[in-house]
Amino acid sequence: MFKRVLIANRGEIALRIQRTCRELGIETVAVYSEPDRNARHVREADHAVCIGPGAALESYLVIDKIIDAAKQTGAEAIHPGYGFLSENAALTEACDAAGITFIGPPGAAMQAMGDKVSARKLMEEAGVPVVPGANDIDINDLETATREGERIGYPLMVKAAAGGGGRGIRLVERAEDLADAMRAAGSEAASSFGDATIFLEKYVSPARHIEVQVMADSHGNVRTFGERECSIQRRNQKVLEEAPSIAVTPEIRKRLCDAAEAAARSCGYRNAGTVEFLMDNDGSFYFLEMNARLQVEHPVTELVYGVDLVALQLAVANGEAIPDDIGLAEPHGWAMEARINGEDAYNNFTPDLGLVEHVELPTGPGVRFDTMLFAGLDVPVFYDSLLGKLIVWAEDRELAVKRLRRALTDLLVVGIETNAPFHLALLDHPDFQSGNFSTGWLESTFEMPPQPEDDPRQRTALVVAAIAASVAGSAPAAGKSGGGRTKWLQATREHAIGLRVQSGGGGWRRRDIASK
């Protein structure tokens, strides 16, 4: 097994990978931008390297800096996490050239699945059901697009071939709106991915977004770990996921897993990946895309199948075969994950970042919180608003809903707003409780209730902030204190830079912080 692994990411996913590495006796190398200097993933790594300023284009997305950091610290492998460079074939090529193991799929498989048009063609050849559509549409070729649109039928989706994260997608309900949608999707795709190529796809609605976790090794083994329900989405982004899906029967699960396995085999896939499908009310499903990386929502699969997917990634990357007896054959219990973002749910989910003054994290039976939060954290403006993932497991779905509600009420973050009130309102909605929802349900049906005038959580937050200010010897203004650099906050931040990390023997040791 590897002795030292560099994690080319930040936040909760970097911490998640670090924990498994510690269990396996693997040293970790953190890379960080200047605003992330005090971040938990830096504090908890064995070694750390600063790779540039806050903008991701100057730090986390610079392949040369990642490779140099690995060489500088003697890292034998690089784990990309998700986002940033996780699906960038150029990083895999750079790793190969430097003699460093990339913990993920081969570059060829990544390229084949990263381009949505290429992936659609591969799936058609492999016999995997694909949504009717038209590939390789030039954004300036309105004549061809119009002809294909008439063949496919409206409504339809215009999608970026190199898209991801909900970008480069437009819904077109009438033929006369097609030209504007093509220009908008192509422009967004060009600025986000450097590729303006689009394709057309029939709009399947109502439909569920169901995905299957796959793992493949270099010995020809492909293993699937059931499905995840990812239909609760806003602006084409998932906000809450669960496993299994209330709409998937054992027979449908087998067909989904068989299709996902065929998808992985079609491109010589290795390591962790996720095959995403749209599923009709009658159980028919269509290939949507394959994500060539570990997913944000992977913990719900881990909890219901009894497997550490990161540990399995490391083993497969090290050339080992997937054990025959790894994980459970069928899902056990129910798991749910709520993405906790720094945003104001009562103000159109406007991002709300800045200084976290106090945190109380939920604990108790069946609760797991993968998070970057700590008191004194300055949440940077350079990255997305994800602060952590609150995950619960229970014997059945009804209890999982209750447990997630309890965990959300136990979560307290002072200094910035989070979307916890949204999740609480979602869990109370009768459609969610009954499982009667689809990908368009959240934006078409759900309404955020008014903010309570006398919110006990807000009162608690203000009391905690006042106590913190009193301890610091400086009272902040009522509400958010955001700016004051009190002695208490200064002490918290200095503690965050501490160089100690607990060793496997139970003592404490210093670690070196490499700077670049």
Whole-angstrom distance, CA of residue 285 vs CA of residue 123: 13
- Report residue 217 CA to chain centroid gap: 23
CB 301 within 8 A of CB 225: yes
Joined tokens for residue 127:
């016999």
The residues, ordered by sequence, that sit 6+ positions from 297 with a Cβ below 8 Å of its Cβ are 228, 230, 238, 241, 337, 389
Whole-angstrom distance, CA of residue 426 vs CA of residue 55: 34
- Report residue 248 CA to chain centroid gap: 23
3-state secondary structure 370-427: EECCCCCCECCCCCCCEEEEEEEEECCHHHHHHHHHHHHHHCEEECCCCCHHHHHHHH
Whole-angstrom distance, CA of residue 3 vs CA of residue 25: 8
Of the residues 293, 368, 397, 403, only one is catalytic, namely 293
What long-range pairs does 135-142 form, CB within 8 A, spacing at least 24?
A: 135/199, 136/161, 136/197, 136/199, 137/182, 137/197, 137/198, 137/199, 137/200, 138/197, 139/182, 139/183, 139/185, 139/186, 139/196, 139/197, 139/198, 142/178, 142/179, 142/182
- Report residue 331 CA to chain centroid gap: 21
- Give which of 202, 203, 195, 204 is closest to 136, Cα–Cα: 195
Total Cβ atoms within 10 A of residue 142: 15
CB 216 within 8 A of CB 159: no
Whole-angstrom distance, CA of residue 465 vs CA of residue 467: 5
Sign of CA dihedral 53, 57, 62, 66: positive
Instruction: Verify cis geometry, omega within 30 degrees of 0, for the bond prior to 35.
Output: no
Note if 293 is an active site residue.
yes
Joined tokens for residue 444:
């078409």
Q: How many residues does the chain have?
A: 516
Alpha-carbon dihedral angle through residues 340, 345, 351, 354, given to the nearest 10 degrees:
-70
Helices 178-193 + 142-152 axis angle, to 10: 110
CB 226 within 8 A of CB 212: yes
Whole-angstrom distance, CA of residue 215 vs CA of residue 326: 11
Q: Which residues are catalytic?
A: 293
